[in-house]
Amino acid sequence: MCVGLPARVRQVKDGVAIVDATGARREVSAELIEDLEPGDYVMIHAGAAIARITSDDETEADDLLGDLLGD
């Protein structure tokens, strides 16, 4: 099973985004999404932002992950 992780973009430079994913900052590739901006929400998988999502999607995904992890 493959699982994507929702994240909020903090910074984008030279095809790399710094994202905040469940409280942890990570560097991911931003090459797959055009016009990615700080404040956007994305789904990340295997070190890359693979899709732009809404803040509602991010909240729902965080809730589901919390349920799965027993938080």
What are 12-43's pLDDT values in tens digits? 999 999 999 878 899 999 999 999 999 999 99
- Kindly state the tokens that stand for 4: 């994507």
pLDDT band (50, 70, 90) for residue 45:
very high
d(CA 54, CA 28): 18
Task: Considering the domain delimited by 5-69, tell me its CATH architecture.
Answer: Roll (2.30)
What is the residue extent of each domain of the chain? 5-69
d(CA 22, CA 30): 18
Cβ neighbors of 32 (< 8 A, separation 6 or more) are: 48, 49, 50
Structure confidence at residue 4 (pLDDT): 80
More confidently predicted of 51 and 22: 51
Structure confidence at residue 47 (pLDDT): 94
Q: How far is CA 61 from the centre of its chain?
A: 10
